[in-house]
Amino acid sequence: MSGLLSVVATPIGNREDITLRALRILKEADLILCEDTRVAKKLLDYYEIKTPLLSYHQHSDNFKTEKIKDLLKAGNKLALISDAGTPGVSDPGSKLISQLREENALDLKMEIIPGPSALTAALSLAGIGFDRFTFLGFLPHKKGRQTLVQQIVNSETSFVVYESKHRILKLLQELGQASALAKVKKELIIFREISKLHESVYQGEAETLLTELKKDANNLKGEFVVLIKKKK
């Protein structure tokens, strides 16, 4: 008997941004796989969901993966969630999903419970210029980073990247310097804390936005989605 893995999208900020189907699946699951049990418990407690939790994150080893496989082989219904948004999109859940798909002996059933995503949320307010784009997720911290920045600046397409509060200023500096060297203008739209109380949107060229974000330390809190329009 094969189990079922449900990949469940959860809110990226506002807890009310969750579907009725997602709530039902989380309640009916035998076990919920999550990045951080403390983060997941806050959401589950809010909706009075008592399903047990098992952590699965970027540092989980093969022993944890084998345990999950055994649970599915035993016929369990598992739900996979991330700390926020849709699992598998710039998220360690993609590794688990790939490993399960490669397991030929596992007659696995998988389903997606769609819902919130920082990527699609940002695109919905981006306007013209993002009907086609390249999504790069989080840029590497070091190796390959400058190559990607050059690609973003010199390309004829639009790009979307995720960035943390620790590197958002660095990214704007890199984009500003590369744009100046290439003598091109790139318009950026930055979304911060999407769907949360202090949601903010900034628009302009990299150097302008760098100055804007530096004005107030509160501007550097949270997670960022950066949209870079194609070269003018």
- Condensed to tens digits (0 to 9), the pLDDT of residues 158-180 reads 999 999 999 999 999 999 999 99
Strand order in the sheet with 53-55: 53-55, 31-34, 77-80, 4-8, 109-113
Q: Which residues contact 115 (CB under 8 A, 6 or more apart)?
A: 8, 9, 10, 11, 17, 18, 19, 22, 86
Quick count: other Cβ atoms within 10 Å of Cβ 223?
Answer: 20
Which amino acid appears at position 216 of this protein? Answer: D
Tens of pLDDT, residues 29-69: 999 999 999 999 999 999 999 999 999 887 777 788 889 98
Q: Which CATH superfamily is domain 4-116 in?
A: Tetrapyrrole methylase, N-terminal domain (3.40.1010.10)
Structure tokens at 131: 């009907």
Residue 232 confidence (pLDDT):
59
Domain 119-228 fold is 3.30.950
Angle between helices 168-182 and 206-214 (to 10 degrees): 150
User: Which of 204, 187, 203, 199 shows the shortest CA–CA distance to 223?
Assistant: 199
State the span(s) of the chain assigned CATH 3.30.950.10.
Answer: 119-228
User: pTM of the entire structure?
Assistant: 0.89
- Residue 10's alpha-carbon distances to 14, 112, 206, in angstroms, are 10, 12, 31
Portions of the chain given CATH number 3.40.1010.10: 4-116
Q: Are 202 and 189 in contact (CB under 8 A)?
A: yes
